Chains A and B, each alone.
Chain A
Amino acid sequence: MSNKTIYIAGFAVVFIMCLGIFVFTNGEWGGSDDSGGEAAEDHGYVPWLTDWIDAIYGELPGEIESLLFAIQAAIGAIIIGYFIGSARSKKQASQE
């Protein structure tokens, strides 16, 4: 299989899966971590501590939380992008 075929097929499967989940699943799209916490409480567990941001500030607004997650993703993406660029230039240099 050629490289192009592998990448196109891979992205196509990911796209179809994501689309399928959005279209055919009727969910609230809450976090599974929160669901896990609720299930623990249903089983009689009483949490003994809240996270420090909640204790000091209260719940983070959704926009701020999204921003922080985006920053985390950006840190990873920048390093991966740098690596790919560096690998490409090394390959070109070795071919020359």
Chain B
Amino acid sequence: MHIMEGYLDPLWCVVWFVVMAPFFIAGVIKLRKILAEHPEQKMTVALSGAFIFLLSSLKLPSVTGSCSHPTGTGIAVVFYGVGVCAVLSTIVLVFQALLLAHGGFTTLGANCVSMGIIGPLCGLLLWRVCRGAGAGAFVSMFVAAFIADLMTYVVTAFQMALNIMTAGDGNFVDALIDFLSIYAVTQIPLAIVEGIVLGMFAHYLFTSRPEIFEITESNKLNPLSTEA
């Protein structure tokens, strides 16, 4: 899903950095509060980041004949909300841009908005809906992780199509259809796999350390919340 260096017009690079900034800043403030006021949660924060590190490094084959990777943001957003998820995703995106030439620094804002903000926000909404309807940890996390992953790629397709509309010579709808078929269709089976893996881990947490899920109750839906 990472938009490569140079594949967004400088104008869009700036726009997406501006969109990313408030969520990222709110996330940094919230993360600092969590680490200061709840040091016992350091391990859970690390775990949330670890899933993003692990799953976003796995390039998996898909039905379209190309490879893509899951995002792993489901755990982070369910436990700590969109802001913290944006910060953890940015760390991974910087790691990949710096060492792997995967993604880029000029496109960091756009990649963070899709992978760390809008995708996870959709996942968190669905988590709340599922939990509110009485669904268990496995089903709720499956739905949250699946939607967070898939929406990340839908947003990427949207970002690329907007870029084509203003800086290329194609029209928005044609470009959007092309990019959705490349990114989103490829991603469907991988999002299912990610949903199952994170769902199983949520079930494991629920049976071994159910008290951890108290964090999710105090987690605000507001993506700009800085309450720890």
- B66 pairs with A10, CB closer than 8 A: no
In this complex, how many residues of chain B approach chain A with their Cβ under 8 Å: the count is: 76
Q: Determine whether B148 belongs to the interface, using a CB cutoff of 8 Å to chain A.
A: no
- A45 pairs with B164, CB closer than 8 A: yes
| Interface residues in A3-35 (C-beta closer than 8 Å to B) | 3, 6-7, 10-11, 13-14, 17-18, 21-22, 25-35
The residues of B that contact A51 with a CB separation of less than 8 Å are 4-6, 97, 101, 104
The residues of B that contact A42 with a CB separation of less than 8 Å are 178
- B6 pairs with A76, CB closer than 8 A: no
Main SS class of interface, B: helix
- A29 pairs with B66, CB closer than 8 A: yes
A17-B61 CB under 8 A given contacts A45-B167, A51-B104, A75-B53: no
In this complex, how many residues of chain A approach chain B with their Cβ under 8 Å: the count is: 59
The residues of A that contact B56 with a CB separation of less than 8 Å are 72
Bound Cα distance from A69 to B58, whole angstroms: 8
- A43 pairs with B51, CB closer than 8 A: no
A76-B51 CB under 8 A given contacts A21-B61, A29-B61, A43-B164: yes
| Interface residues in A50-93 (C-beta closer than 8 Å to B) | 50-54, 60, 65, 68-70, 72-73, 75-80, 82-84, 86-88, 90-91
A13 → chain B closest CB, angstroms: 6
- B59 pairs with A31, CB closer than 8 A: yes
CB < 8 Å neighbour of B60 from A6, A18, A27, A82? A18
- B6 pairs with A47, CB closer than 8 A: yes
Bound Cα distance from A75 to B56, whole angstroms: 12
A75-B200 CB under 8 A given contacts A14-B193, A40-B168: no
Bound Cα distance from A34 to B209, whole angstroms: 41
Bound Cα distance from A86 to B68, whole angstroms: 32
- B50 pairs with A33, CB closer than 8 A: no
- B193 pairs with A17, CB closer than 8 A: yes
Which stretch (B25-33, B41-49, B116-124, B126-134) binds chain A?
Answer: B41-49
- B95 pairs with A72, CB closer than 8 A: yes
Q: Apart from A33-B1, A44-B169, A51-B6, list 14 A-B contacts with CB within 8 A.
A: A27-B64, A32-B66, A33-B4, A34-B4, A36-B160, A36-B183, A40-B163, A43-B164, A49-B6, A50-B5, A69-B59, A76-B49, A78-B50, A80-B51
> Which A residues fall within an 8 A CB radius of B?
3, 6-7, 10-11, 13-14, 17-18, 21-22, 25-37, 39-40, 42-45, 47-54, 60, 65, 68-70, 72-73, 75-80, 82-84, 86-88, 90-91
A-B contacts, 25 listed (Cβ < 8 Å): A3-B203, A13-B196, A14-B193, A28-B65, A29-B61, A30-B66, A31-B66, A32-B183, A33-B4, A34-B4, A35-B182, A36-B160, A39-B175, A43-B168, A45-B7, A45-B167, A47-B4, A47-B5, A51-B4, A51-B6, A69-B57, A72-B96, A76-B53, A77-B54, A86-B43
List of 6 A-B pairs having minimum Cβ-Cβ separation, nearest first: A27-B65, A76-B54, A44-B169, A49-B6, A76-B53, A43-B170
